[in-house]
Each structure stands twice: as C-alpha cells, then as structure tokens.
Amino acid sequence: MTSIVTDLVTALEGFSDDLIAFTVHAIEAVVVALVAILLARLLRQRVAAGLLRARVDPHVATLVSNGVVVGVYAVAATLVISLIGGNWTSAVTILSAGTVALTLALQDVLRGFVAGVYLLLERPFAIGDRIKVRDVEGTVEAIDLRTTILRGEGAGIVVVPNATVFAEILTNRSLGHQLRTTARLSMLPTAGADPFPGIEEAVAGLPGVVGVPRLDEVTADADGLAVAVSVAHAADTEIAPALAARLRERFPAAAVSVVRSPA
C-alpha cells in the first residue's frame, strides 16, 4: 500500500513539474508572439515610410515592408516551436519544407512579382510611353507588380504579364520622340511639408507631359533644401517657360531654374 501511495505521489509530482514547465513555456511563447506582432507593425511602418521618402515606387515599398513582416513572423514561429517542445533543427526543417512547397506552387506568380519589381526599379518605360512587346503594342496605362496595362488600338485594354515583358524583346517607341526638362529649386525650407507633391501639382496639366515627374537629386545646405526634378514631354512641345512659371507660383520663396536635355 505504501509503495502505491509513493508511486502516486511521485507521478503527481512529475506531472506537476511538467505542467509548470509547459505553462512557463506557453507564457513565453505568447510573449514572443505579442512582441513579434508589435515589432512587425513598427518595422512595416518605418520601412514603408523610409522607402516612400526615398521615392521608391509604392508597390515596391509595400512589397519590401511585407517581406520584413514575413521575416519577423518566421523568426517568431521558429522561437515558438522551440519553446513548446520542438527544437531548432525540426523548426528550420519545417519552415524550409514549407518554403520550398510554397515556392513550387506559386512559381509563376513569384516570377511575375520578380519581373514587376525589376520593371519598377529599372523603369525601361513609363506611364504614357508607347511600347511593343511581342505582337502587342499600345500606350502604357499602368505598371503593377504582376502586370502592365496597355491601351491598344481602338481603345482596347491589353493586360500583359510582367514575366512576358521581362523575357521578351521590348520596343519603346516614345524614347526617341521625347525630351526631358529639368527644374532646379533651391532655398526651400528644410522643415515642413514634403515639396514633391507640390511639384507634381505644378506639373499636372502641362501640355505634352508624359508620365509623372522624376526626383533626380535632393541636397541640403545652409541656404535650405535644393531639389532637382525632371519631366518627360513630347519633343515638339516646349514646357520650360510654363513649368518655371508654375513652380515660381507654387514656391514663391524658392529660386527656380529650368534646363532641357534629351530624355
């Protein structure tokens, strides 16, 4: 009888120790998950804001910030698996196998995303350009991460996968018929609102302009902020006087100069 009681007490003590250990690890896992959620949100906001300030395309900024979030969650998941009884080797094996399976299942989609990121970063064409890919020709209406939208003859819309644009020979018929006018603004205030939206507003509606302004240079000195921005436009359209007038009206305290060069 005594041995039975002793065995029961020993079993209960072992169960109690296991329960306490599991509870502690579960609490630690919950803490890791909460910290990961907060850190992921913070990093997403900071990374996206930093990339947008650097004039990175919004689609690329979103993609990079989401990639940072996925990385944080992957590390957190590995820690949680380790805390609740797994080990680093099994956790890494599971994550690696899952990544390989997901990559194989979504390889066509991922190929399109990679091509889209390349197009957004390299910019072989811009919105408003007339391009030809394979046997499709049209004016670029939009450039997304997975597709490029063209307006073809007869006002028809053509959706071209970016993977196709990336792999095929691309003809940009607009580059040889465009000029680029560069405006330099100096003595802008270093504190306050970002001047680029105001520059976009000043350029909007100018005849012959193709696409959106491109920020080429930003410097700061004792006199304030200096910005160089270039605007592509049709070669037969002179926009320098109108552009200078609009910028001086929008930024009356700034010094404005305009130079035209081939696109």
Residue 177 per-residue DSSP state: G
Give the C-alpha separation, 208 to 201, whole Å: 15
In a domain, 83, yes or no: yes
Task: Please give the C-alpha separations between residue 128 and each of 132, 136, 237, in angstroms, as whole numbers.
Answer: 13, 16, 15
User: 248 and 164, same structural domain?
Assistant: no
How is residue 33 written in tokens? 């998950």
**Band of residue 152 on the pLDDT scale cut at 50, 70, 90:** confident
In a domain, 249, yes or no: yes
CB atoms within 10 A of CB 112: 21
Give kind and range of the element (H or E) at residue 102. Answer: helix 88-105
pLDDT reported for residue 16: 62
Q: Which amino acid is at 20?
A: I
Residues 127-151: tens digit of each pLDDT: 777 788 888 888 888 887 788 888 8
Domain, as residue range, for 252: 177-262
User: 75 and 10, same structural domain?
Assistant: yes
User: 7 and 86, same structural domain?
Assistant: yes
Non-local (6+) Cβ contacts of 4 within 8 A are none
> How many residues are there in the chain?
263
Residues 1-37: tens digit of each pLDDT: 556 556 555 655 555 666 676 777 778 888 888 988 8
User: 96 and 15, same structural domain?
Assistant: yes
Residues 60-88: tens digit of each pLDDT: 777 788 788 888 888 888 788 777 765 55
Partners of 227 in beta bridges? 185, 218
pLDDT reported for residue 222: 67
Closest C-alpha among 204, 202, 260 to residue 235:
260
pLDDT reported for residue 236: 65
In a domain, 241, yes or no: yes
pLDDT reported for residue 250: 85
pLDDT reported for residue 11: 54
User: 85 and 9, same structural domain?
Assistant: yes
CATH number of the domain that 220 lies in? 3.30.70.1430
Whole-prediction pTM value?
Answer: 0.46
Give the C-alpha separation, 261 to 125, whole Å: 18
